Amino acid sequence: MNLRRSKMWADDAAAALLDRLHERPEMRMCLATGSTPLPMYGRLAQSPDAFAAAAVLLLDEFGDLPADEPASCDATLRRALIDHVRPADYRAIVTAHPGEPAAVDAWIDAGGLDLAVLGIGVNGHLGMNEPGAPADGRTARVDLAPTTMEGAQRYFEGRARPTWGVTVGLGDLLAAGEVWVLAAGESKADIVRRSTDGPVTTAVPASLLQRHPNVTWWLDR
Ligand code: GLP
């Protein structure tokens, strides 16, 4: 496990991602939204050609949102990155389709994931894989934990109160060639410590990453 603590974490992570893309332009990656990765996406958006051969899968999406909700994970990732870099393939998650989890799994099975770029919830969730989610889980419709619903309010400003979502499962995240977790701010300090140094348990989904051979935590000071 690689712990990188820096004031410049967003620049450093963006530079590392551009390096990876340089080595492997057709890289297949799964990307998180939330607020944490946005500064990194802002840097990447300035390299519009880097993603020309890449394939991007959205990590998760909230259920029951109006189609034009600007804070959906899809709209957030498009605005921050996708619209600027236009990857060869971009796969969002349409939560209203009952067959969507299987279709997302088929996308993953078509070539695997070289890299998963994740944030972390204050309860240790990865994507919408809340405490107790199975370590070998695949894409699924899931209920959100109370802290996740509360936290989501800052994105929706009262317009929506999602209680569920569809997320790529822990099994596929743990099978990715490389996993990055981005975490910044005092509120994440405790859960980062528990995930990196605490017991490996499904009660703290991010702790399962201790078993992954190639994980980098990009942290602010
Ligand atoms: C959300 C998302 C996660 C995200 C996390 C942290 O609920 N489902 O994918 O990483 O919570 O969000 P933020 O980066 O805004 O703190």
- List residues near ligand 1 (CB under 6 A): 32, 34-36, 59-60, 119-121, 127-128, 148, 151-152
* Six-digit token string for 205: 């989904």
Render pLDDT for 170-208 as a digit per residue (tens, 0 to 9).
999 999 999 999 999 999 999 999 999 999 999 999 999
197 belongs to the catalytic site: no
Buried b (16+ CB within 10 A) or exposed e, 208-218: bbeebeebbbb
Active site residue 26: no
HEC assignment per residue over 76-91: HHHHHHHHHHCCCEEE
For ligand 1, mutation pick of 58, 128, 191 (most atoms within 8 Å of CB): 128
> DSSP letters along the chain, please?
-EEEE-TTHHHHHHHHHHHHHHH-TT-EEEE--SSTTHHHHHHHTT-TTTTTT-EEEE-EEESS--TT-TTSHHHHHIIIIIHHH--SEEE---TT-TTHHHHHHHHHHTT--SEEEE---TT--BTTB-TT--TT--SEEEEPPHHHHHHHHHHHTTS----EEEE--HHHHHHSSEEEEEE-SGGGHHHHHHHHHS---TTSGGGGGGG-SSEEEEE--
d(CA 58, CA 56): 7
Per-residue pLDDT at 183: 98
Does the annotation mark 60 as catalytic?
yes
Distance 48 CA to ligand 1 centre (A): 25
Best mutation site among 33, 129, 220 for ligand 1 pocket (most ligand atoms within 8 Å of CB): 33
**Selected catalytic residue, list 61, 130, 172, 178:** 130
- Region 10-22: mean pLDDT is 98
* Other beta carbons within 10 Å of 178: 19
**Atom of ligand 1 at shortest range from CA of 183:** 14
Q: Which two tokens stand for residue 106?
A: 């088929």
Whole-model pTM: value is 0.97
Q: Is 130 tagged catalytic?
A: yes
Ligand 1 centroid–CA 34 distance in Å is 4
Q: What is the pLDDT of residue 105?
A: 98
CA of 199 to the centre of ligand 1 (A): 22
Q: How confident is the model at residue 81 (pLDDT cuts 50, 70, 90)?
A: very high
Segment 141-156 shows an average pLDDT of: 94
Query: CA 219 to CA 182: how far, in whole Å?
Result: 6
Q: Which amino acid is at 194?
A: R
